[in-house]
Amino acid sequence: MTLDDLSRRVEALREQIRYHNYRYYVLDEPVISDAEYDALMRELRALEAAHPELVTPDSPTQRVGAPPGEQFAKVQHVVPMLSLANASDEAEVRAWYDRVLRLLGNDAQVAFVVEPKIDGLAVTLIYRDGILVRGATRGDGETGEDVTANLRTIPSIPLRLGALASNSEGQTNGAPVQAIIPPLIEVRGEVYMRIADFLRLNEQLAASGEKVAANPRNAAAGSLRQKDPAITARRPLRFFAYGIGQIERVQVQTQWETLNLLRTLGFPVNRDARRFERLDDALAYCREWMTRRDELEYEVDGVVIKIDSFAQQAQLGVAGRDPRWAIAFKFPAREAVSRLIDIVVNVGRTGVITPNAVIEPVNIGGVTVRNASLHNADYIAERDIRIGDYVIVKRAGDVIPYIVGPIVARRDGSERPWQMPATCPACGTPLERAEGEVAYRCPNFGICPAQITRRIEHFVSRGAMDIAGIGEKQVQLFVERGWVQDVADLYMLTPDHFANVEGYGPKRVANLLSAIADSKNRPLHRLIVGLGIRYVGEVVAQILADHFGSLDALAAASADEIDALEGIGPAIAASVAEYFLRPESKALIAKLKRVGVRTEAQGTARASRGNALAGKTFVITGTLPSMSREEASALITAHGGKVSGNVSKKTDYLVIGAEPGGTKFAKAQELGIPMIDEAGLLALIGAGRTADDQATSASDGRAATASVPPSDNVPESPRQLDLDLS
């Protein structure tokens, strides 16, 4: 290649990398796989290394990431947030270590810390006197975005340090820790989403017609960069701390000490971090994780090997954007190239149509993959995925693989663009797409056999009515034979229906019918979940059941009345009200009652509950041991109390859980407002509690025995609270 050719290639690479950086970092929507991106970067780095005269200050190799977006205030990092050099095999790790020894001297005593490389996004958290004052994204490593409000919503990020030696990863001992709180500490770590949480979130997003995320990392990034912290709060984000940017007063000498200090201060620190004194042992541990990565609940794209000693780290220094004292040992990407044979569509229980890829079978990390997720029509259109394309398929954890994008260069012209069918594949009804929604829907709610099947599958599922012995197969049988058209029809099945069906002997039929009959008495909230109302999962259903006490009362409520409940927003309220206004819903409820399904809360309904909290206003802060905040709010309102979001003179009690918010706590202290924990709250309700409360919200049964008068339960500071975090 001539120098001219070379410089053209270098420019072309930079342009591609800039584009993919933008897709990945700014839009959170990558169109190529990480492996492909890495290959582009590697080629550019190699060319620049061989021809330093071609390096320009604006080359992607000369900065850490992409510029921050515009919606958040910019934050200048006092200590830059570095990146990591990659090694893709053991030889590259050994080459890195040879360089380390050259710089430290061959007889240097070197220890290593190996940590999983979590696939999320790096953030930095600044604590002054133990209080979280600012949090920011990494941005380009020099300047990030101020996302404090959003970070504060992540439960695994402590708002105040050292209150409890506990974290979300189960390293809990419940004992107050006498750690010295540094006057200033900047903690670095990774915000991420568990694979199962990511899938659930995508399901919810798809069901409500919103954009789904391509993978857990993008879901985490998108969730953290929401303008409205309330939305972030509803996203299942988590945090792992792995480093310190700045620290005052307290001294740490090694990475291993750092992890221990972070743990002691209350941060979630990865339990799989290990210290080694020999590189061979460190490498053996890396190999172990390569084969065990599926055991983790979150995605890792490798492990990080760090030199333990800070003195040695300082000696080694930084090369460009990467510290010489650490290296990322990347796992082989679990992606493969396959051919997209077809796109088929599925009809969900709310009528949402989701496209799925049928691909030529391909082995990805030991698993044969034949189907992959394509999320929705926009996903396909934006990436211009065509039938016949070679596509990149990625598998994460043990979940359904997804299509990353097409390999445009391998097209031969025979590929066909795909279009969402005009009509429902199950019932032929023309599909609809609501203004501003991503999802296409089959509007034939009552009759579409696919929707009926999905709704019944949902009704009998674990989280809902939990009817043993009925799964997809049985539901399909019932619907195909025309026995069941709505969930109430299940209760009209008789032994006669099964008379000529193979595989259904008298014993099996008897068991099946008795399981169905038993489900008539499930708690009200399960029935509400079973109805399959948009946005209504277990938590919301519990709030509705607690407040209204019967399906009739709920059905009669206006959207405003529902919206007024703590823990329920306008979108949920509108969806619930709309559901009960539909004639088919009214008919279904009448039918459920006719067949004997209990539509009232068990025990005593709301009217007869104690009014122990009448006239009292409560503020809740922190995580309570046995109930969510929504559940606690519902409990308080059910007993005549009021719940407010802010501490003021009107507040009667501050209910404190683990990791309480600094402002509420300080304000309550300033105003001398009594503080109680969950046990204290239950004690206040005391004899006023009904059997129903105990069944639904006091899982440890403490309510029944709590007899401590509230005044004995008022602590001076949260450290004195005997919080049970198990």
Nearest residue to 685 via CA among 608, 611, 618 = 611
Nearest-angstrom CA–CA distance, 139 and 141? 5
Q: Is 186 one of the binding residues for ligand IVH (CB under 6 A)?
A: no
Q: Pick one of 32, 41, 44, 84: the residue that binds ligand IVH (CB under 6 A).
A: 84
Nearest-angstrom CA–CA distance, 609 and 612? 9
Q: CB nearer to ligand IVH: give 241 or 684.
A: 241
Q: CB nearer to ligand IVH: give 25 or 618.
A: 25
CB of 325 to ligand IVH, least distance (A): 8
Tokens 């890195």: give the residue.
96
CB of 154 to ligand IVH, least distance (A): 15
Q: Is 308 one of the binding residues for ligand IVH (CB under 6 A)?
A: no
Q: Pick one of 212, 219, 328, 541: the residue that binds ligand IVH (CB under 6 A).
A: 328
Q: Is 82 one of the binding residues for ligand IVH (CB under 6 A)?
A: yes
Question: Tokens standing for 716?
Answer: 């001076």
Nearest-angstrom CA–CA distance, 201 and 196? 9
How many chain residues interact with ligand IVH (CB under 6 A)? 15
Residues with Cβ within 8 Å of 404's Cβ and at least 6 positions away in sequence, in order, are 30, 31, 32, 33, 214, 335, 391, 392, 393, 394
Nearest residue to 64 via CA among 159, 147, 137, 146 = 137
Q: Is 243 one of the binding residues for ligand IVH (CB under 6 A)?
A: yes
Q: CB nearer to ligand IVH: give 82 or 636.
A: 82
Nearest-angstrom CA–CA distance, 75 and 71? 12
Nearest-angstrom CA–CA distance, 334 and 399? 12
The SS3 call for residue 227 is coil
CB of 83 to ligand IVH, least distance (A): 5
CB of 188 to ligand IVH, least distance (A): 7
Q: Is 541 one of the binding residues for ligand IVH (CB under 6 A)?
A: no
* β partners of residue 318: 323
- Report the residue closest to ligand IVH, judged by CB: 122
Q: Is 323 one of the binding residues for ligand IVH (CB under 6 A)?
A: yes
Nearest-angstrom CA–CA distance, 638 and 651? 18
Q: Is 326 one of the binding residues for ligand IVH (CB under 6 A)?
A: yes
> Binders of ligand IVH among 99-128, rule CB under 6 A?
115, 117-118, 122
CB of 701 to ligand IVH, least distance (A): 40
Q: Which residues of 349-374 are buried (b: 16+ CB within 10 A; e: fewer)?
A: bbbbbbbbbebeebebbeeebeebbb
Q: Is 304 one of the binding residues for ligand IVH (CB under 6 A)?
A: yes
Residues with Cβ within 8 Å of 14's Cβ and at least 6 positions away in sequence, in order, are 44, 59, 60
Q: Is 262 one of the binding residues for ligand IVH (CB under 6 A)?
A: no
Q: CB nearer to ligand IVH: give 331 or 390.
A: 331
How far CA 722 is from CA of 130, 408, 419, 542, 715, in Å, comes to: 21, 61, 60, 27, 10
Question: Tokens standing for 464?
Answer: 């809902």
Tokens 């290394």: give the residue.
49
Q: CB nearer to ligand IVH: give 115 or 659.
A: 115
CB of 335 to ligand IVH, least distance (A): 18
Q: CB nearer to ligand IVH: give 193 or 675.
A: 193
* Sequential DSSP letters for 48-74: HHH-GGG--TTSGGGSSS----SSS-E
CB of 187 to ligand IVH, least distance (A): 12
Residues with Cβ within 8 Å of 615's Cβ and at least 6 positions away in sequence, in order, are 640, 641
CB of 227 to ligand IVH, least distance (A): 23
> Binders of ligand IVH among 642-681, rule CB under 6 A?
none
With contacts defined by CB under 6 A, name the span among 320-328, 426-434, 684-692, 712-720 that binds ligand IVH. 320-328
What is the rounded radius of gyration, in angstroms, for the C-alpha atoms of the chain? 29
What is Dmax (Cα atoms) for the chain? 88
Q: CB nearer to ligand IVH: give 213 or 353.
A: 213
Burial class (CB in 10 A: 0-12, 13-18, 19+), 102: exposed
Residues acting as catalytic residues: 117
* 3-state helix, strand and coil shares in percent for the chain, rounded to the nearest 5: 40, 20, 40
Q: Is 302 one of the binding residues for ligand IVH (CB under 6 A)?
A: no
Q: CB nearer to ligand IVH: give 25 or 242.
A: 242
Q: CB nearer to ligand IVH: give 242 or 418.
A: 242
Q: Is 83 one of the binding residues for ligand IVH (CB under 6 A)?
A: yes
Q: CB nearer to ligand IVH: give 323 or 567.
A: 323
With contacts defined by CB under 6 A, name the span among 24-32, 248-256, 321-329, 708-716 that binds ligand IVH. 321-329
CB of 215 to ligand IVH, least distance (A): 15
Task: Tell me how long the chain is.
Answer: 726
Q: Is 136 one of the binding residues for ligand IVH (CB under 6 A)?
A: no
Q: Is 28 one of the binding residues for ligand IVH (CB under 6 A)?
A: no
Question: Tokens standing for 695?
Answer: 């069944």
Contact pattern for ligand IVH over residues 439 through 458, marking x by CB under 6 A: --------------------
CB of 170 to ligand IVH, least distance (A): 18
CB distance 463 to 448 below 8 Å: no
**Binding site residues, ligand IVH, CB under 6 A:** 82-84, 115, 117-118, 122, 138, 190, 242-243, 304, 323, 326, 328
